[in-house]
Amino acid sequence: MADSGSSSVPKYFVTSARVGFRLWPENDVSLALAFWGDPEVTCYIDARGALDVTEVGQKVYAELQSQAEYGIQHWSIFLEENVRSMDIENSAMEFGIHLRRDYLGSGLAAEASRAAIDYAFAHQHVTELFAGHNP
């Protein structure tokens, strides 16, 4: 999650009171590094811990490929001032919110979750959502 200050940032496809969701463009590796490169964020979502710039680039590329092939990816969430598919054939999707450290405990995850869940069932034709974490 980051401030969306740049005018070159793609448009949001879903918004809530404080956040906007958008898809990953190819040039977002440095932004993605802000959270996938932070060990306090990735300790719950990736067994490798903090990712380096090459690994983050690979994750962004994988998100682009997933969007192109299946029409779904992790969504980026931005302040108005981030779903990975697990069973595509049956429209069962994994759901999770990944926030940068400075936004933890702010209530944004709950707000973003409600907006994303509503969107998934209304517009993505999802039949089932589930969540997990890396212990």
How far is the C-alpha of 135 from the C-alpha of 123, rounded, in Å? 31
The CATH homologous superfamily to which domain 2-130 belongs is Gcn5-related N-acetyltransferase (GNAT) (3.40.630.30)
Task: Determine which helix (DSSP H) or strand (DSSP E) holds 63, and give its type and residue range.
Answer: helix 53-70
pTM: predicted TM-score of the whole model, two decimal places: 0.56
Contact of 19 with 80, CB cutoff 8 Å: yes
Report yes or no: 23 and 10 within 8 Å, Cβ to Cβ: yes
- Contact between residue 56 and residue 121 where contact means Cβ atoms under 8 Å apart: no
The domain limits of the chain are 2-130
**Are 115 and 21 contacting, i.e. CB atoms less than 8 angstroms apart?**
yes
Give, for 86, the enclosing helix (H) or strand (E).
Answer: strand 84-87
Q: Tens of pLDDT along 74-130?
A: 888 776 653 344 455 556 666 677 777 888 889 988 888 888 888 888 887 778 777
